[in-house]
Each structure stands twice: as structure tokens, then as C-alpha cells.
Structure 1
């Protein structure tokens, strides 16, 4: 039986919302109508993992009014937004508020990034030290590696012995196919060696490396004659038909100058890539045994330049350990220590919400299931191409629950 779209919408809007058991443990979070511009609030039953309601705004009054309708609520898991804390306090004054652990760790990460930003100079110095160490480690002499000449000589001697064996067998009238099997070569290689009358020499043709290749001999003569200024060399080269850029000649002069100074071919410029502020903050929160040796060495140099960051790193790891345990006994001591460190702003914010933070350590409730339901809300909203108003969206979400 054909049904119009308007009829389907009318049926959805008029369908009764299923009854649900009075909740005792709920999670509250915001969701975006349009990111950065307009937000609503979602409330979920954490015990049954179902959506209880969608509110049209992100407002403490709306949350308080909704909670007042359900006096049996005992636990409220929320993020650290002050408006939800205020709404929960007014709407369910007897309920335990639990700060979400992920949001706590996220706030810690932001605080660490700000701390790293305040010590940009120390990061720069540590990177320079790492670059110098990397250059010293990667320095390669222009002379062949020890033993390389011996290996080449041994290889040449083995090829010579192979040629003598091929020559003797060929003189005895042995077919090339049998010679190839006996010496372990392909028949084509044996035939090529016999045609050449001996072991072919491996001579690699010298390929011009740049547009300067035809002029390198002249440049070398000018350099030895005392002309070492790239600008002057470039002007003289143009008279001889050089069509390349001045930068190429200047680069050749700089390379030749480095060779003359060191007595060896100049090595390429090496630089240790500086980690981003976010990456540095991540290092500070990690066990040093779990990161790469180079990164650990960078941290040692960074801590030597900014001891305050070492203190912040130790405090960050202590807080992560507190949050992953179930004993809040060390929280007050941690807050006192952090209040005089680079994490002071983070610690001061937690002091204003210390009961909810303590509950995050002692209880298992988080807003993670709420995040999953938010993803489902977004999927339903996108199915309607973002054109559904709150009544239709709310109806579809609650009916699907």
C-alpha cells in the first residue's frame, strides 16, 4: 500500500514514546546541532545504555528542570562544564556528581601543552642540542670504510679465478652450457666473457649531476685561482653559455667552501625534527621507558633547560595513576603540589569541582556510553540531511531506543 512521505512523518510524530524505568544513574553531555554555533543536551540512562531525552539547548535551567522530574536519580556523570554542574546541583541536590575521566585527562593534556608553550625557548635549545648530536653521529668520512678495499680486492680475485676456469674448460672443448653449470653462471654470461676475451670491467658512466657539470673543471680552476664568490662565478659562467640560476652556483660555492674547510666532501645538512607542542605534552605524560631512545634523550635536554617541565611531567603521571586507581587519598596532596607548578590552573579548576573528581576515582561511571549515543543521534540527523527539527529528531531517537 503506497504511503506518502507526509503520512510517514505524521505517524512518527504521533507515535507514543515508550515508557522507561525511572533512572537512578544518568549521564549528561552536549551534542552539536551545528558545531561551534548551536548545541543541545542529551541525557542517557547509564545502567540500561539508552537515551532518555534530548534537550533543545545547553543550559543549566533546562537540565535542572528535567532532573527535578526524576527525584530518584542518585548519580550524575557529566563533563566538567560549569553549567551542567550547576544544573545537577539545583535539579538533584542529593545526587553524586561524577566528573568524566576522559574530560579530566583532556584538560590535563591542554594544561601540559600550555606549559610547553611557555618554555618555547627551552624546547628550541633542546632541539639544537639534538641536531648537533645527530650531525656528529651521522658524520661520514670521505675515505672508504675500513675493509672495503679488501672486500673489493677479494671480489676481483674471485672473478679472476672464475675466468681462468672458464678459459681452461673452453680450451678443452667443453660446451658453454656445461661450463655455465660448472662455474655457477648463466650460459649467456659465459658467452659474453669468452667474446670479450676476459673478465669484463665494471665501469659506471659518470652522469652529469646538474647543469653545472660541463663547467665544473672551469669552476675548480677559478676556485684554486682565488675566485670564491658565488656571485662573481655566476656572472663569468653566463659569458660562457651557462643558463642556470645564480642559486645553483652559490650552492656549489658553499659546498666547495665546506670541503676546503673540513678537508673532506661537505656532508648534507642534518636537523633533528622538533616535536610539536602536542607531541611534547604527550611525552611529558608517558613513562620514559615506553618512548624511543632519541625522544627520551630530547626530554633529558629539555628538562635540563626547564626543570619546571620535569616537575609537571611527574605530577601528570601521578594524576594519571590516581585516576586509574580507586583510592582518592592522594588527591588533596597532589592538588597542593600542583598549585605551585606549571599545572596550577588545572589544579585550581579541579579544586572547584573536587568532589566530582574524587567520585571519578572511586566510581566506575563515565560519559563514554553517552558519547556512543551522540554518534547515533548524529547518524539519524544526517539521514534527514540536517533538515529535521528537534521534535522529529527527538521522536526518532527515543523510538529507536
Structure 2
């Protein structure tokens, strides 16, 4: 915190710099929005692989309905957005894509994720297992958990052993949570509200006032 105070930076920024082993670790890929070229990305990618001039690519995608400018296409290509191997998302963003429903992702993100997964067998298997577990969770199919664990064990995916061991340590509770309609959500909500009130009053009031606020908030 002293470093953050002296530099005038946010604490998380200082931590990110401290954790980085080399300068490249600090680089973050840009987050691009939806573009008119996205609908023709596969065609542009194929033509670039054939070393087709940009002017011919522009004419061809315009025949397929592209209504943007030539500068937009050139910028799209220079940014590497036509090549999924060049624009690699951060691990955190890739995890968020895999954890999301495919139908909730924009078309260009869904295509990008598909390209990344098909280029790596382990990643494709990982995404499949995550989505299977999401189905078990959302549809309360706890009876399928044993088969899912067995399948994941056979996949020998790195990093999964500790997660599976954690499930096995409290197996009955996990199966019940994935099967029964009951939830401890209301209790956790009350705990969160109490912590919020406590942090609001920290250093400003005593326990008696905190107690009154908690009782009045119920």
C-alpha cells in the first residue's frame, strides 16, 4: 500500500506490476467491438491465406453484402482480427467465454471461441466438460455427477484433480446441492447485508447503533 500511495496508483495496478516476471506479462490484448467485417471474417481469413490483394478481398466481400469502407477493412486486417491465432484473449476473458452460454455470446466472440477450441484438443475437451457440468447444475441432475467425474478422470486434464478431490470430500452435500431445490442463498444474502452495514459504519459508530440498523433493515 505504501508503494501505491507514493506512486499515486491504484493498489491493484501496483500488484499487477509486482507479479509480472517480464514486460510482456503486462500487455493486455485490446477488446474490440462488433465490426461490419465480422460477418465476412472467414472469407477474409481464407483470402489472406491465399495472399489475395486487399482490393480484391474488398470487392469480393462487397458482393456478399459488406457496406463498410476500405479503411475499415485494412484496419481490421492490420489489427489481426481476421486471424484468430494472432488475437489471443487473456486467460480470464477466455474463461468467461467458456463459462457463458454460447447463445449469450456475440457472433464474432462465438466464432473466435470456436476457432480457439478447435485448435487445441485439451481446450475443446475442457469446454465440453464445463458445459456438461453447467447442465447438471442448472437442470438439477445430481444423479449424473458420478458419470461426469469418471469421464473427467479419464480425460486427465491438468488442474482438475484438486477440484474433483474437493467434490469427493463433501460428496453427499454436493449431490444434494445439485439435486434438491433448497438453497442457502437467503442466509448468504443476510450475511452480505450485515457485512455491508458494518463496513459503512466502520470507525464512525458503535455496536449499539450497528445493532439497531441491522434490526431495522430486516
Q: TM-score, normalised by structure 1?
A: 0.32
1:334-381 Cα distance to aligned partner (Å, 9 max, x none) = 112223324333222111121111111222232322343234324533
Matched with 1:300 is: 114
Tell me, in whole angstroms, the C-alpha distance in 1 between the residues paired with 2:100 and 2:137: 15
Out of 271, 275, 293, the residue aligned to residue 80 of structure 2 is 271
Partner Cα separation in structure 2 for residue 350 and residue 391 of structure 1: 41
What is the Cα-based RMSD across aligned positions, in Å? 3.8
* SS of residue matched to 2:178: helix
- Structure 2 counterparts to residues 362-381 of structure 1, below 5 A: 362-381=179-198
Task: Return the alpha-carbon distance in structure 2 between the equivalents of residues 139 and 290 of structure 1.
Answer: 35
Residues 119-165 of structure 1 show CA distances to partners (whole Å, capped at 9, x for unaligned) of: xxxxx9xxxxx9x82983996429x969xxxxxxxxxxxxxxxxxxx
Cα distance change, pair 351–382 in 1 and its aligned pair in 2 (3 A):
closer
Aligned length: 152
Does residue 357 of structure 1 match 2:171?
no
Q: 1:375 to 1:286 in 2, by over 3 A?
A: closer
Pick the structure with more strand per residue: 1
- The structure-2 alpha-carbon separation of the partners of 1:368 and 1:306, relative to structure 1 and needing over 3 Å to count, comes to same
Unaligned runs of 5+ in 2: 1-28, 30-41, 61-73, 82-86
What is the CA-CA distance between 1:301 and the residue it aligns to?
2.9
* Cα pair distance change 1:135/1:275, threshold 3 Å: farther
CA distance in 2, matches of 1:331, 1:363: 14
Residues 361/278 of structure 1: CA separation in 2 closer, same or farther (3 Å cut): same
Rounded to whole Å, the distance in 2 between the matches of 1:289 and 1:398 is: 43
Equivalent residue for 2:136, pick from 318, 322, 326? 322
For structure 1, the residue ranges without an aligned partner over 5 or more in a row are: 1-123, 125-129, 147-266
Distance (whole Å) between structure 2 residues aligned to residue 302 and residue 330 of structure 1: 28
Contact kept, 8 Å, 1:327 with 1:362, in 2: the verdict is yes
CA distance in 1, matches of 2:165, 2:208: 40
TM-score relative to the length of structure 2:
0.54
